[in-house]
Amino acid sequence: MYGMPSRVRLLYHGLGQREAKTIDRDLDLAITEFAPGSQKTKDKRVYTAIGFTAPLLPEPTWRPSSPNPFPRRLWMMRCDLCHYAETSPAEPANTFCPECGNSMVGDNAFRVFEIVVPAAFRTALNRGVDAKEGAELLPRGMSSLAERSDIPLELVNGTNTRRSLSSGVVYKINDRAGRLFSGSLGMASWVRGGRALPDQWIEERYQNQRDEDDAVRFTPNANGSERIALAAPKTTDILRIQPASVTRAICLDLLARDENGHISQFGHGSDTKVRGSWPI
């Protein structure tokens, strides 16, 4: 399906003479099920994902179809306090949330990180290990969010509700529970022999760990290591709802701060900004 518009992503776990051994998932599932550190079982063998590649082609020898395993890269600003989210092509200089002023320090902090859309995923391309009951592992850290919008919300007559319906981008993000994935692009081959492939992005945990079955011989490019989150973007209709007014006796923000700036169970309702976005 190379070159065709599709959200299906492959996990390569072996290469034959002309056919690759793969497992496929929709992109929404692949960024979790095929993320580095996750394990998949096939034909009673367990394979561990260790990184990313462009789709692999067999001629004249196995090679990636592109030197870039991430056809799309963006920077994301995200606040875990007010759930503000916005993307940009260049790294933002912001150190505080533009919406609520939250800093990059402490729990539920404002964060700036790079997100990528993988073209394909890979294992060490080895024989895998014997499957055991409950052997599959999935790294946690998945969340869904809608990017901010400047479209004004309109008051619904006879109610206390403001709403808007528009087309926008919804992201599923796997940021490894805030730790991100660390790795680099380079030349990779299985430690016990096998084909060497250029332009492979391998997670640091699996680079040159000779005592591990899932490790690879890896020579990084000159660009060095980077930290990324995995993203599955989708353009869809988004319904945004907001109270037109909030009485001072009610606080709708579960992460409201008290007068000392600490996250509290209670807060000041009149100072709370409440937003919600749901993909349809």
Ranges of each domain in the chain: 8-279
Collapsing DSSP states into helix, strand and coil, what is residue 248? coil
| Lowest-confidence pick of 88-92, 165-169, 228-232, 267-271 | 267-271
Please check the confidence at residue 204 and state whether its pLDDT lies above 90.
yes
State both tokens at 259: 């007068």
For 199, other C-beta atoms within 10 Å of its C-beta total 19
* SS3 call for 183: strand
Q: Model confidence at 137, in pLDDT bands (50, 70, 90)?
A: low
Task: Say which residues have a Cβ less than 8 Å from residue 107's Cβ, sequence separation at least 6.
Answer: 80, 263
Of the pLDDT bands very low, low, confident and very high (cuts 50, 70, 90), residue 81 is: confident
Distance of CA 129 to the CA centre of its chain: 27
CA R_g for the chain = 22
Pairing status of strand 45-48 against strand 39-42: antiparallel
Mean pLDDT within 263-270: 43
